[in-house]
């Protein structure tokens, strides 16, 4: 697997991007590994890194697996420098057999867009979110997950409805009245 120090700088930017907002949290570096190519392209304002083939992202309470990954971070410092300083992390787009494990839930889909500054993940292309203990399963055309809120928004359409499967609810109906014993006629 490719594991390059240059990419570690980019990935550390992911962890540091929210540090100013959450100074009390102890953030771990984010590590991205892949079996295929890893490429970085810088402009005057941002750095874009792409990873292919068996991509694995490990971060704070997050593990992400996918076929392809595109990471966009802002760039600060000298715009003419070959390697610029990484600013805040803008987005991460994972495609192809995406699987995200976070805490007690797991999500699978064809496309996941992570926006760390908005504390939001957008899942599309047949998304499914489920609890690890299978207490619930959520499906729909698009699912939005919000960090720290334990909140999900499922957007359905008339063609593809949202669906949430929860544990069984106990029977709230009335108990059938017991049949009164038939009186016997004694001769």
Dump pLDDT digits (tens) for 83-123: 767 778 899 999 999 999 988 989 999 999 999 899 999 99
- Of 60, 22, 53, 27, the closest CA to residue 38 belongs to 53
At residue 181 the predicted structure's pLDDT band, cuts being 50, 70 and 90, is: low
Q: Does 41 score more than 90 pLDDT?
A: no
Query: Could you give the C-alpha distances from 184 to 71, 122, 187, in angstroms and in order?
Result: 83, 70, 9
Question: Is residue 159 predicted with pLDDT exceeding 50?
Answer: yes
Residue 113's Cβ-count burial label (10 Å; 0-12, 13-18, 19+) is middle
Identify the pLDDT of residue 21. 40
pLDDT at 127: 98
Q: What is the pLDDT of residue 59?
A: 87
In angstroms, what CA-CA distances link 102 with 35, 63, 69, 99? 23, 7, 18, 10
Residue 8 has pLDDT above 60, yes or no: no
Q: Mean of the pLDDT values across residues 148-172?
A: 91
Stronger pLDDT, 81 or 18, i.e. the higher one: 81
Residue 19 clears pLDDT 50, i.e. is over it: no
Contact predicate 71/83, CB 8 Å: no
Domain boundaries, the chain: 5-165
In the chain, % of residues over pLDDT 90: 51
How does the average pLDDT of the chain come out, rounded?
A: 82
pLDDT value at residue 14? 37
Architecture per CATH, domain 5-165, reads as Sandwich (2.60)
Question: Looking at the whole model, is its pTM more than 0.85?
Answer: no
pLDDT tens for residues 50-60?
A: 999 999 999 88
What pLDDT, on a 0 to 100 scale, did the predictor assign at position 12?
Answer: 34
């Amino acid at each position: 697997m490719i594991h390059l120090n240059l990419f570690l700088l980019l990935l550390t930017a992911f962890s540091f991007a929210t540090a100013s907002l959450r100074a009390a949290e102890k953030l771990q570096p984010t590590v991205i590994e892949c079996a295929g190519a890893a490429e970085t392209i810088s402009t005057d304002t941002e750095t874009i890194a792409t990873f292919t083939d068996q991509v694995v992202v490990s971060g704070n309470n997050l593990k992400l697996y996918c076929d392809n990954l595109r990471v966009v971070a802002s760039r600060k410092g000298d715009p003419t420098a070959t390697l610029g300083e990484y600013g805040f992390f803008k987005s991460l787009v994972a495609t192809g057999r995406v699987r995200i494990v976070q805490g007690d839930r797991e999500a699978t889909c064809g496309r996941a867009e992570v926006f760390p500054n908005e504390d939001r993940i957008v899942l599309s292309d047949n998304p499914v979110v489920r609890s690890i203990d299978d207490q619930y399963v959520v499906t729909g055309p698009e699912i939005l997950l919000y960090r720290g809120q334990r909140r999900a928004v499922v957007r359905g359409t008339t063609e593809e409805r949202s669906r949430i499967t929860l544990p069984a609810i106990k029977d709230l109906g009335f108990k059938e009245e017991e049949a009164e014993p038939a009186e016997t006629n004694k001769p």
